[in-house]
Chains A and B, each alone.
Chain A
Amino acid sequence: GIQVEQSPPDLILQEGANSTLRCNFSDSVNNLQWFHQNPWGQLINLFYIPSGTKQNGRLSATTVATERYSLLYISSSQTTDSGVYFCAFRNNFNKFYFGSGTKLNVKP
């Protein structure tokens, strides 16, 4: 079946540190998104990035569709970055798949 693997599953950072989260997928991607779920449960879309690189402030994302992976970079992490980061994609058959997430804890 279709696999979406996120790594690492858990990450603890000191405030100010940088990190890279990875999402590997086993199918051709038609739509790849990164989401953040904060500790209060709110889900927010970070990037829609089926290919290429995008940046938004301290966050950036890169998807290499031909190699079936996407990376989310967090620079100068802050405590408000804590939460769970999910990647999700839609394949060419309009099926959506979610990763199990990377749980990030940024300590002050």
Chain B
Amino acid sequence: DAGVIQSPRHEVTEMGQEVTLRCKPISGHNSLFWYRQTMMRGLELLIYFNNNVPIDDSGMPEDRFSAKMPNASFSTLKIQPSEPRDSAVYFCASSRRETQYFGPGTRLLVL
């Protein structure tokens, strides 16, 4: 199995630009999670989906962030407009039951 796939692995952008992060979960998994990790705030759950439906988006910081899961094999996390404080590593994880499997992360730098 290829594991959870995230793209891009690194992204450098300028403040105000739109950023789209992508995630392909492990085939057969029905839950998908988006996390953000920073030195200041640690690991935070932003949103998670179950069977493509958002279950809890209370961790999404503000309206600039949106996440979609149009089908069982793909999800996006979009930031528009991006700000320097959005700089972080963004992880996607998927699970079939309870055990979560993480992708390698996308390192985002907003200048």
Q: Which A residues form the contact surface with B (CB < 8 A)? A: 31, 33, 35, 41-45, 48, 50, 86, 94-96, 98, 100-101
A96:B48 contact, CB within 8 angstroms = yes
A98:B101 contact, CB within 8 angstroms = no
The yes or no answer to B49 lying at the interface (CB within 8 A) is no
The yes or no answer to B71 lying at the interface (CB within 8 A) is no
Q: Which B residues form the contact surface with A (CB < 8 A)? A: 33, 42-45, 48, 55-56, 58, 89, 91, 93, 97-102, 104-105
Q: Within 8 Å CB of B45, what residues of A?
A: 96, 98
B98:A33 contact, CB within 8 angstroms = yes
Complex formed: what's the CA distance from A100 to B89 in Å?
16
The 7 tightest CB contacts between A and B, nearest first, are A43-B102, A48-B99, A96-B45, A48-B98, A98-B43, A45-B99, A31-B98
Given contacts A86-B43, A94-B56, A95-B56, contact A33 B89 (CB under 8 A): no
Mind listing 28 A-B residue pairs with CB under 8 Å?
Answer: A31-B98, A33-B98, A33-B99, A33-B100, A35-B100, A41-B89, A41-B104, A41-B105, A42-B104, A43-B91, A43-B93, A44-B102, A45-B99, A45-B100, A45-B101, A45-B102, A48-B98, A48-B99, A50-B98, A86-B43, A94-B55, A94-B56, A95-B56, A98-B43, A98-B44, A98-B45, A100-B42, A101-B42
